[in-house]
Amino acid sequence: MNETDNSLHAYLDQFLTALAHEDGYARNTVAAYRNDLNQLIEFLARREPPVASWADVTASDLGSFVDSLRSLKIAKRSGEEKPVAPSTIARKVAALKSFFNYLALKNIVTLDPSVGLEAPRVAKRTPKTMSSEEVERLLAAPGPSPSPKTLRDRALLELLYSTGVRVSELVSFKMEDVNLADKTMRVKSEDNGRERSVPMSEKAVESLQIYIERGRPHFVKSAGNQAALFLNQRGQQLTRQGMWLIIKEYAARAGLNYEVTPHMLRHSFAAHMLQNHKATLSEVQRYLGHANISTTQIYVQPPSALPEPEV
């Protein structure tokens, strides 16, 4: 790596650190920004002459970079080549705009060359959600069996839907995160480490209490796993893969002839909360742990959906 590369990467590292620690961006978002801006650095290094510092970057440089993305072909597993998706280009443009705004605020560049740079228009995709009737069928699928597995599965399905937590957050729950008296769960984001408290529905509280008292003791195999809330048959913390298999099992029992994912329940929670007009956008943002309210806005739909989960 030459001196120019060192200079470019040094400011990039500062920017990414600020995103993670000051702005609370999710780890995956920071990683995507790093990849996008490293791609820009590689492009600038191929310019004639190579760009020596961020202050030397022009609007023409950035325009040429975006044009290069539009002409780039990506090889698929089938051997075919396809162009870079407009949504991917739009994300890269957003990353470099955010970066140059940071450089301008820090007086590292005098003028922001990204001003006026346009990204491709991307139609916002509405997240796939389930109807309330479909959710009810899924939640009822474990049935009335008192077996430890059924008690566990009923509790985690109720909890997943009534709180809207990510599957990674759900399987990471510890016993100390449960507050049955207040009907809340303490959630620690896997992405940025921030904590939030989310309410549980009455059904989730009831199912969780029964699981903790009658089901969970059957899974505990040793003193080493007393902390994890949801355990598998080996007495170990339930994994994300295990959670996917559980949902797949009960979706089939419920007669849902499409792939139901844990994130679909999260989407459904958010959509149902908003569509029934009992939760504000900012409340749902807090429940979901979104850093930016614009992320939550994708769930805003005409009020034609079925009722939300109880909270």
How far is the C-alpha of 248 from the C-alpha of 266, rounded, in Å? 15
176, 284 contact by CB (below 8 A): no
227 domain residue, yes or no: yes
Tokens of 237: 């913390």
Range(s) of the domain holding residue 139: 132-299
Which CATH number is 208's domain given? 1.10.443.10
Return phi, psi of residue 82, to 5°.
-135, 155
173, 182 contact by CB (below 8 A): no
pLDDT of residue 289: 82
* Secondary-structure breakdown of the chain: helix, strand, coil percentages, each rounded to the nearest 5: 55, 5, 40
Return phi, psi of residue 108, to 5°.
-85, -30
Looking at the structure, do residues 201 and 254 belong to the same domain, yes or no?
Answer: yes
179 domain residue, yes or no: yes
226 domain residue, yes or no: yes
Looking at the structure, do residues 196 and 275 belong to the same domain, yes or no?
Answer: yes
119 domain residue, yes or no: no
pLDDT of residue 191: 58
307 domain residue, yes or no: no
Cα radius of gyration rounded to whole Å, the chain:
24
Looking at the structure, do residues 21 and 73 belong to the same domain, yes or no?
Answer: yes
Looking at the structure, do residues 77 and 197 belong to the same domain, yes or no?
Answer: no
Nearest 5°: the CA angle 76, 117, 191 is 60
Looking at the structure, do residues 225 and 273 belong to the same domain, yes or no?
Answer: yes
Looking at the structure, do residues 86 and 172 belong to the same domain, yes or no?
Answer: no
Looking at the structure, do residues 96 and 45 belong to the same domain, yes or no?
Answer: yes
Looking at the structure, do residues 36 and 157 belong to the same domain, yes or no?
Answer: no
Considering 105, 124, 144, which residue would you say is the last residue of a domain? 105
Looking at the structure, do residues 179 and 216 belong to the same domain, yes or no?
Answer: yes
**Residue 52: how many other CB atoms lie within 10 Å:** 14
Nearest 5°: the CA angle 256, 260, 266 is 125
Looking at the structure, do residues 137 and 262 belong to the same domain, yes or no?
Answer: yes
Considering 65, 88, 105, which residue would you say is the last residue of a domain? 105
Return phi, psi of residue 17, to 5°.
-65, -40
308 domain residue, yes or no: no
Looking at the structure, do residues 140 and 254 belong to the same domain, yes or no?
Answer: yes
β-pair type (184-188, 178-179): antiparallel
pLDDT in tens, the chain (311 residues): 444 455 788 999 999 998 887 766 777 788 889 999 999 999 999 988 888 889 999 999 999 999 999 888 876 666 678 888 888 888 899 899 999 999 999 999 999 999 988 887 766 666 788 998 999 999 999 999 999 999 999 999 999 999 988 888 899 999 999 999 999 999 987 655 678 899 999 999 999 999 999 999 999 876 555 789 999 998 999 998 999 999 999 999 999 988 998 889 989 998 888 876 578 888 888 888 887 777 777 777 543 333 444 44
111 domain residue, yes or no: no
Number of structural domains, the chain? 2
Which CATH number is 69's domain given? 1.10.150.130
Considering 69, 87, 105, which residue would you say is the last residue of a domain? 105
304 domain residue, yes or no: no
Looking at the structure, do residues 95 and 181 belong to the same domain, yes or no?
Answer: no
How far is the C-alpha of 306 from the C-alpha of 230, rounded, in Å? 30
